[in-house]
Amino acid sequence: MSYINPVKRAYLALENWFNISFGNDWNPLYHLGTLAFFFFWVIFVSGLYLFIFFDTSLSGAYASVEYMTHEQWYAAGVMRSLHRYASDAVVLTIILHMFREFSLDRYRGFRWFSWITGVPNLWFVVTLGITGYWLVWDELALFVAIKSSQLMDALPFLPASMSRNFLESQINDRFFTLMGFLHLLGQPVFLAFALWIHVKRLSDVSIIAPRGLAIGSFVALLVLSLLAPAVSHEAADLAKTPAVLNIDWFYLNIYPLLDNWSSGEVWVLTIGITVFLMLMPWLPPKKTGPAAEVHLQECNGCEQCAMDCPFDAISVQARTDGARWEHEVVVLEHLCAACGICVGSCHSSNPFRHAREKLVTGIDMPQQPINDIREHVTAAIDSLEGENKIIIFGCDNAIDFAGLKSSNIAVVSYFCAGMIPPTMIEYALKLGADGVFITGCRTGDCYYRHGNRWFDERFAGSRQPILRKRADRRRIHIFRAAETDCKKLRKELAYFEDSLAKLKREAANTGEADHA
């Protein structure tokens, strides 16, 4: 087994724990980004309701929030709690989202863009929460207002002191209205834009959480809201400094630092962390393989590869080579993750074609062309001995399969399960393999996002190019597991060998019976 670092191990253990109860389809760790979106929806809808009753003036804000919390506890009060707890859940979800991308090494190489465009979202979310706490205008709000102003005062480009605003009730009032505007409109618009950029380079991003997870999370939020409704501190009073404040650590964590640190030092820390996060994809950098190449003479412009590309790296344009087809595809090299999924999508990757010549496909990976794969498969099957000849088509990013090679087992590696042309499976069976064993990333968590999904759809016949019906499904086995699941892999392979042997015996028996 290859080395797996402790952070990744810890993450995989956590993921495994969730798989036990949620199953792979609803494992929340596979849907953290989407879950964050789900919580934003809850925040948005509850926020709209709160807005109806909220008084945006400094003098009326606190009373209006009190009214919602106590007199209308059954509606606005619940909405307030949903608004609060969904906001906290967003931060926790984002922290887990970052931990996941980091521990699975999905933040470097071609993923640098997703990572660094995630960072501003952290700022937008946290500052949105800060202005939210400001609007309640209770003791906590006053604390947040004063401490935020002290932080702002340390910035060189602000001409006048913000902290001293609180001494002038008129200015304070106008400032409060500005916060209301920021929280209700300005910041959400920025956040929505930043989120759009964040997922812009990915295809098929879902911002609607799977139903089961959405219902479960909502019920959990609702139960929490009923059990521990969000309440305010006492009304803001400039003549009082409350000794104890129940601060929301998801949003207000930097403020207590100001007790011992200067505003400048707090800025250095927060900006330092931000810069560090932004630089992480290059500490150290990770190389992405050469981009896919289009071979126009074999491309009929069917666009399947463009539809399947998980990173929107293939675009379609009018034909340039005078061929009779309408379209051709172009690889946008700077976006290509070199996953090879497009090779699996291309009808021309069929190894039965050009049996005596070099196999050229419409779109190919220069570092592992389809022709090399065909030669490799052919030679590997040729070299197999014994009763149950098995060829493993292994995904490079999943469990380590190299050690499984033996006299009756050969291995061929692919960048992703989605890179395997279905016809290659038929080809292996036709060439004499008794079974094809295909490994992949954990169900629901393909390293290249959609490889497993496309594979399954091709297998089921609902996505082109399909695995034809005539391919004997009993001789094809799919195994998906975490890198730590080596024992399971061996067990599964042994089980597959047994079932192939059984198939052979059955075939022999029916053959004898037919003979008789």
Residue numbers of the site for another protein (CB under 8 A)?
18, 20-23, 28, 84-85, 88-89, 92, 143, 149-150, 153, 160-161, 163-164, 167, 216-217, 219-221, 223-224, 228, 230, 237-250, 255-256, 259
For residue 466, state whether it binds ligand HEM (rule: CB under 6 A): no
For residue 483, which of 10, 12, 7 has the smallest C-alpha distance? 12
Q: Using CA atoms, how far apart are residues 466 and 441, in angstroms rounded to an integer?
A: 21
Quote the CA–CA distance of 121 and 90 in Å, as a whole number: 11
With CB under 6 A as the contact rule, the residue among 50, 68, 119, 467 that binds ligand HEM is: 119
Which of 19, 46, 114, 345 binds ligand HEM (CB under 6 A)? It is 114
**277 touching ligand HEM, by CB under 6 A:** yes
Considering beta carbons, is residue 1 or 228 the nearer one to another protein?
A: 228
Nearest distance from residue 39's CB to another protein, in Å? 10
The nearer residue to another protein, 22 or 479, going by C-beta atoms, is 22
Partner from ligand HEM, another protein, none binding residue 233, C-beta < 5-8 Å depending on class = none
Told to check if 69 binds ligand HEM by CB under 6 A, we report no
Tokens coding 454:
């496309």
205 lies in the binding site for ligand HEM (CB under 6 A): yes
121 binds, among another protein, ligand HEM, none (CB under 5 to 8 A by kind): ligand HEM
Name the region of 444 (left: φ>0; alpha: ψ -120 to 50; beta: rest).
left
Of the two residues 8 and 319, which places its CB atom closer to ligand HEM in the complex? 8
The partner in contact with residue 244, picked from ligand HEM, another protein, none with C-beta cut-offs of 5 to 8 angstroms by kind, is another protein
H or E stretch at 330: strand 327-331
Which residues inside 168-187 make contact with ligand HEM, applying CB under 6 A?
none
Q: Please choose, out of 191-199, 211-219, 338-346, 418-426, the segment that lies near ligand HEM by the rule CB under 6 A.
A: 191-199
Give me the residue label for tokens 């089921």. 460
Q: Which residues contact 205 (CB under 8 A, 6 or more apart)?
A: 33, 199
* CA atoms of 106 and 282, how far apart (whole Å): 12
CA distance 429 to 381: 9
Could you give the CA distance from residue 363 to residue 345 in angstroms, rounded to a whole number? Answer: 9
Applying CB under 6 A, which of residues 33, 301, 394, 451 lies at the interface with ligand HEM? 33
Judging by beta carbons within 10 Å of its beta carbon (0-12, 13-18, 19+), is residue 435 exposed, middle or buried? buried
Stretch that binds ligand HEM, among 105-113, 235-243, 262-270, 358-366 (CB under 6 A): 105-113
Interaction of residue 418 with ligand HEM, rule CB under 6 A: no
Q: Which is nearer to another protein, 18 or 112 (CB)?
A: 18
Quick one: 245 or 431, whose CB is closer to another protein? 245
Angle between helices 78-103 and 6-26 (to 10 degrees): 130
- Intra-chain end-to-end CA distance of the chain, in Å: 50
Cβ closer to another protein: 164 or 487? 164
Structure tokens at 459: 């297998």
Query: Is residue 15 exposed (0-12), middle (13-18) or buried (19+ Cβ within 10 Å)?
Result: buried
**Residues shown for the chain:** 516
Kindly tell me which of 114 and 348 has the beta carbon lying closer to ligand HEM: 114
Which CB, 39 or 54, lies closer to ligand HEM?
39
Q: Which of 347, 442, 449, 453 binds ligand HEM (CB under 6 A)?
A: 449
Nearest to 139 by CA among 242, 243, 256: 242
- Whether residue 120 has a cis bond before it, omega within 30° of 0: no
Tell me, by CB under 6 A, how many residues bind ligand HEM.
Answer: 25
Closest distance of CB 104 from another protein, Å? 20
Both tokens assigned to 342: 């497009």
Conformational region of residue 472, where left means phi above 0, alpha means psi within -120 to 50, and beta covers everything else? beta
Compare residues 84 and 449 and give the one whose CB is closer to ligand HEM.
449
- Closest separation between CB of residue 245 and another protein, Å? 5
Binding site for ligand HEM (CB under 6 A): 33-34, 36-37, 94, 97-98, 101, 106-107, 111, 114-115, 118-119, 121-122, 125, 195, 198-199, 202, 205, 277, 449
